[in-house]
Amino acid sequence: MALYDLIIIGAGPAGITAAIYAARQKLKTLVISKDVGGQVALTADIENWIGYQFITGSELTKKFDEHIEAYKDTIGLELGTEIIGIGRKNSNFLAKTKSGTYESRVVIIASGKKPRPLNVPGEQEFKGKGLTYCAVCDAPLFPRKDVAVIGGGNSALEAALQLTKIANKVYLINKNPAMKGEKAIIDKVEKNPKVEKVYNSITKEILGDKFVNAVRVEQNGKERRINVQGVFVEIGLIPNTDFVDLAGKNKYNEIIVNSSTETNVPGLFAAGDVADVPEKQIVVAAAEGCKAALAAARYLAKLK
């Protein structure tokens, strides 16, 4: 089994940035991830990424690919596989995946977050049959349809705006009395005639036959049926930390780190949305990835 200086779990903004800075430090690095881009790849429009006033998620993901390709002699990529655990072998770490086990002196966890489920009747039954968690991926499947977006934050607002370009009508179902998000995005939603805001509404059930045909909600204490052919769940994200037993976590299951991205386990670092840092933004995740790689390099220098 080859021994790496560093294994990075995840290839989103934090993981890719960490890999690039690790390569510049001449660390033998392996990146393990299901894909490249993370949440960026699932985002339609990105505004104010440094150097770009506007860029799409797919375009930025392509830039990530191109950047890491420039360091292919130093960075190993194990894509399309899922991490299932991190263990110890003496003072080293073992990263266990469904396809194999890899050993390294240090590890950076940058596994990001995944969509939070509704946990209501019909969700599992109609997943992939009209119910989805990714507007970027699946919006083109609903041309001239009536659809519902469940949520009230930035991700829900962005999904609703994207769907207005394709769907006939968009119901924005929000359990709160108002939207929560960036003012600029809220203003765009408010001005779009295709969006109907359904406030104070708790989603109770996803209905359908072979495919989704309605959502049952409780609005202001009264039951309401909203006929739609598609449902987009955008109620937030949960950390991808099910495989992490070594490091301490907070009540949200985010990995607890200090200002240098160090966990409570020497040699184990965490960066990006998976960590308990405030402000879940792409630029913040990238910065934390940079910090993690530099901290890992310092840690390795002390070992040597």
Mean pLDDT, residues 170-196 taken together: 94
The whole-number pLDDT of residue 93 equals 97
Q: What is the mean pLDDT of the chain?
A: 94
Q: Which of 51-60, 78-87, 96-105, 217-226 has the lowest mean pLDDT?
A: 51-60
- The reply to whether 75 and 34 lie within a common domain is yes
281 compared with 200, residue with greater pLDDT = 200
Q: Strands (DSSP E) along the chain, which ranges?
A: 3-9, 29-33, 45-49, 52-56, 75-79, 83-89, 92-97, 101-109, 113-115, 131-132, 146-150, 169-173, 195-198, 201-208, 212-219, 222-227, 230-233, 237-239, 268-270
Q: Which residues are catalytic?
A: 134, 137-138
288 compared with 138, residue with greater pLDDT = 288
- The reply to whether 130 and 225 lie within a common domain is yes
The whole-number pLDDT of residue 53 equals 85
Mean pLDDT, residues 285-297 taken together: 97
Question: Domain range spanning residue 145?
Answer: 117-233
Closest CA to 45 of 129, 161, 131, 125: 161
- The reply to whether 12 and 26 lie within a common domain is yes
Q: Is the pLDDT of residue 152 over 80?
A: yes
Report the share of the chain in percent with pLDDT over 70.
100
**CATH code for the domain in which residue 137 is found:** 3.50.50.60
The whole-number pLDDT of residue 46 equals 83
Q: Which residue has the tokens 């006033």?
A: 53
Choose the final residue of a domain: 233, 266, 286. 233
Report how many domains make up the chain.
Answer: 2
Choose the final residue of a domain: 208, 233, 258. 233
- The reply to whether 110 and 130 lie within a common domain is no
- The reply to whether 155 and 288 lie within a common domain is no
- The reply to whether 82 and 142 lie within a common domain is no
Choose the final residue of a domain: 233, 252, 270. 233
| Cβ burial 278-290 (10 Å sphere, 16+ → b, else e) | eebebebbbbbbb
Q: Is the pLDDT of residue 39 over 90?
A: no
297 compared with 279, residue with greater pLDDT = 297
* pLDDT class of 47 with cuts at 50, 70, 90: confident
- The reply to whether 261 and 293 lie within a common domain is yes
